[in-house]
Amino acid sequence: MRSDVDSGQALPAARRLVITPVRGIKEVRAGDDLVELIGDACGKELRSGDILTVTSKIVSKAEGRTVSAEARDEAVESETVRVVASRPHAGGVTRIVENRLGIVAAAAGVDASNTADGTVLLLPEDPDASARKLCRGLKRDFGVDIGVIITDTLGRPWRQGQTDAAIGTAGISVLLDLRGQPDASGRPMSATVTAVADEIAAAADLVKGKTAGVPVALVRGMDMLVNVGGLDKDPGARALLRPADEDMFRLGTAEAYEDGRRSGTRNGYNAGYDDGHAAGYEDGYAAGYAAAAAEARRRARSAGTQR
């Protein structure tokens, strides 16, 4: 059993889930205290066992992760560990990269929407740490045990559109491992690990919306996932990241094809060269031999004539 996976001791009983937008949070500036801003906006709504989902944008703003729009490309590059795939489009190039957090996202998560004019925002420095800080602060200042999910909007292969996902968490199980648990007909489930933190992030996006300026939503009804007792050992949202070497899609199709093509070309060339050389040698030998022999005959005839 992995410590970052809830093995099912506390399976979610089917119950009502209520997701409420948290209004009244002012435009966040560098240095702002999110515990105070969010806690005050929630007021008495906040209850132990709730989960707060917080758009990464306001966390980045509070942490001063703003850079000028002119420095965007540089910022994307500095956040990038590995280019997964890229494709040119009308306005430039779409680059899907693995960023320094291990998250695979377009432009390393650097984004311009909902930021001040002339600026772009980087993802929080360490979203799991940001989530833990919020979780601890809410406990300290408001006396509540609250799970925290910091969300970002991610595209995905095969399917149109984007969905929100959990990029930082504290005090919640992010994966629910149902393997071996009996299904409704009593047989053990074989391959199901549910990414509950991503499902909660997606659910919260439905009430936050991206144009409404509501960066926080309160999720009630998932108490069974909340446990703020072991924050020091909380694996956070990193547990949601599949290591590249276990991923069947660690590279874009075009990039992987190109890697294969290059390797194949090199090896093919060498093999072809050897075969071609052997065949060419034979052909050349025969031709060279014939030419020299013909020349010798000519010379012999010419010598005979002169004699």
> Residues 114 to 153: which contact a second copy by CB under 8 A?
114-117, 153
- Of 91 and 143, which CB lies nearer to a second copy in the complex structure? 91
> Residues 203 to 222: which contact a second copy by CB under 8 A?
203, 205-214, 221-222
Among the listed residues 47, 141, 282, 301, the single contact to a second copy using CB under 8 A: 282
- Of 140 and 281, which CB lies nearer to a second copy in the complex structure? 281
φ, ψ of residue 305 to 5 degrees: the values are -65, -40
Q: Helix H segments across 43-126?
A: 56-62, 72-79
| Strand pairing category for 80-89 and 175-177 | unpaired
Query: Is 112 an interacting residue with respect to a second copy (CB under 8 A)?
Result: yes
- Of 148 and 200, which CB lies nearer to a second copy in the complex structure? 200
Query: Is 241 an interacting residue with respect to a second copy (CB under 8 A)?
Result: yes
Whether the Cβ atoms of residue 20 and residue 42 lie closer than 8 Å to each other = no
Q: Two tokens at 64?
A: 């001063």
By rule CB under 8 A, what string of x and - marks binding of each residue 25-64 to a second copy?
Answer: ----------------------------------------
Among the listed residues 45, 261, 301, 302, the single contact to a second copy using CB under 8 A: 261
- Of 133 and 173, which CB lies nearer to a second copy in the complex structure? 173
Query: Is 190 an interacting residue with respect to a second copy (CB under 8 A)?
Result: yes
Q: Two tokens at 80?
A: 């990038």
Q: Two tokens at 27?
A: 């435009």
Closest approach, Cβ 39 to a second copy, in A, equals 19
* Residues 216-246: b if buried by 16+ CB within 10 A, e if exposed: bbbbbebbbbbbbeebeebbbbbbbeeeeee
The span of 14-22, 33-41, 60-68, 136-144 binding a second copy (CB under 8 A) equals: 14-22
Tell me the residue type at 204: A
Whether the Cβ atoms of residue 81 and residue 99 lie closer than 8 Å to each other = yes
Query: Is 67 an interacting residue with respect to a second copy (CB under 8 A)?
Result: no
Closest approach, Cβ 50 to a second copy, in A, equals 14
CA dist list (Å): 94 to 90, 105, 107, 196, 263:
10, 10, 7, 29, 25
Q: Two tokens at 85?
A: 């795939």
The number of CA neighbours under 13 Å toward the Cβ of 157 is: 11
Query: Is 70 an interacting residue with respect to a second copy (CB under 8 A)?
Result: no
The span of 9-17, 34-42, 75-83, 131-139 binding a second copy (CB under 8 A) equals: 9-17
- Of 29 and 261, which CB lies nearer to a second copy in the complex structure? 261
- CA angle (211 as vertex; 209, 217 as ends), nearest 5: 35
Q: How many residues bind a second copy (CB under 8 A)?
A: 126
Look at residues 34, 18, 21, 22 and name the one whose alpha carbon lies nearest to residue 138. Answer: 34
Query: Is 232 an interacting residue with respect to a second copy (CB under 8 A)?
Result: no
